[in-house]
Structures are given as structure tokens and as C-alpha cells.
Amino acid sequence: MIENLLSSILEIYLVPGDFVLSKFAELAPLTAANWGIANGDDSITAAAVLSGIFWLLMSVIAWRLYRYGSSLLRNIVALYHTMWYRGRQAVGSLKTLLLCRLREFGPRRRDDGIDTTPEIDFDDLDLAVLRTAAARGPGLATSAPEIAEKFKLRPSEVQRSVDKLRRNRMLDTVIGNTDGYDNFRLSPSGATFVAMWQRRYGT
């Protein structure tokens, strides 16, 4: 059983060398006979050497193809995630824009001073936190201490702004913390708000 398996492996290994030698013998039979590679032990040795060179080249080519394929796959996956994130941002912005346009054509409620809804007022620190979270990139988290260090503020000041933005669904909490403060990232609503702000004010 094992001998048959080894014999089969040897035959497969020698296929490239036998093929080259057979073609060489057909094209130059006299030269092949003079070199002693037409038959006998010399032909087996030559076939083994040629086969070794062939399989070595195939191994190098296969490794290069594997590396290229892996790199191409990583780039495709990264491109897919980027396009998915940009698509979600575009859909969210379009939805918000359509809702705003529809409200312009709808009946306006009379303001009787009793049943009014206060507008959300974001100050400079709130906007700085949103822009910083957006600059981190899709899905990446930051924290109050990191932003505080950037703007030379106390983490507690930044955390008050973070809590306010989180209540208004501009930020999402993620697992983990930094120096005792929860990590967070921009929510889809926050990404839509930042995109609209940048289109309007260019900052």
C-alpha cells in the first residue's frame, strides 16, 4: 500500500522532467543519445532534476499568486466597507433632506405658546466633539480624555457634552473605556448631521 503510494507520488513528480526529455529526444535524438539521457539511470536523474526545477518554479508562482490574491481580497473588503458606510450616510442625508422638504409643504402648526418643542442647541464644544468623532472614521471609537487632551480641556467638560450628544442620539456608546470614561463613536444620525453641517458651512 505504502510502496504503491510512494511509486505514484514519484511518477507524478517525474512527469514534467519526462515530458521535457521526451520532447528533447524527439527534436534532437542524436544529442540525447550522446548525452545518455534517452534511457537508463542518467535519464531518470535528468528527469528528477528538471522536475525539481519545475516544481520549485510552480511553488514560487503559487506563493506569489497567494500573496497577490490575499492583498486583492483585503482591498476589496475595505472598499466594500467604505462604500457601505458612504451609502448609509448618503441614504440618511437624503432621508433627512426629504423629510425637511415635506415639512415645508405640510400645514404649519400655530404657535400658541403652550405646546412648543425646544430646538436642540449645539454649542462649539458639542460641534467639536462631533467633528472629532467623525474624523476618526467609520466605526472607530474615541473618548472624552482623548478629545480633552486635543483641545486642552478637562475630561469632565467634554463628558458633559458627550452625555448631551448621546441623549440626542448623535453618539453611540461602544464596549470599553479610557481612564474611566466610556468610549463612543458617531451614530448614523450624528454622521448625517455632520455631513449636512459641512455642506452648509464648509467646516
Q: What is the mean pLDDT of the chain?
A: 78
How crowded is residue 164: how many other Cβ atoms within 10 Å of its Cβ? 18
Tell me which fold the domain 124-201 belongs to.
Arc Repressor Mutant, subunit A (1.10.10)
* Nearest in space to 191 (alpha carbons), one of 89, 123, 111: 89
39 falls in which pLDDT band (50, 70, 90)?
low
How crowded is residue 189: how many other Cβ atoms within 10 Å of its Cβ? 16
pLDDT at 111 over 60: no
Which amino acid makes up residue 131? Answer: R
pLDDT of residue 60: 92
61 falls in which pLDDT band (50, 70, 90)?
very high
Say whether pTM exceeds 0.75: no
Domain boundaries defined on the chain:
1-104, 124-201
Say how far apart CA 170 and CA 175 lie, in whole Å.
17
Dihedral in degrees, nearest 10, Cα atoms 92, 122, 129, 82: 10
Q: What are phi and psi of 111, to 5 degrees?
A: -90, 100
Residues 151-160, mean pLDDT to the nearest whole number: 88
Say how far apart CA 193 and CA 187 lie, in whole Å.
10
Pairwise pLDDT comparison (97 vs 61), residue with the higher score: 61
Residues 79-94, mean pLDDT to the nearest whole number: 83
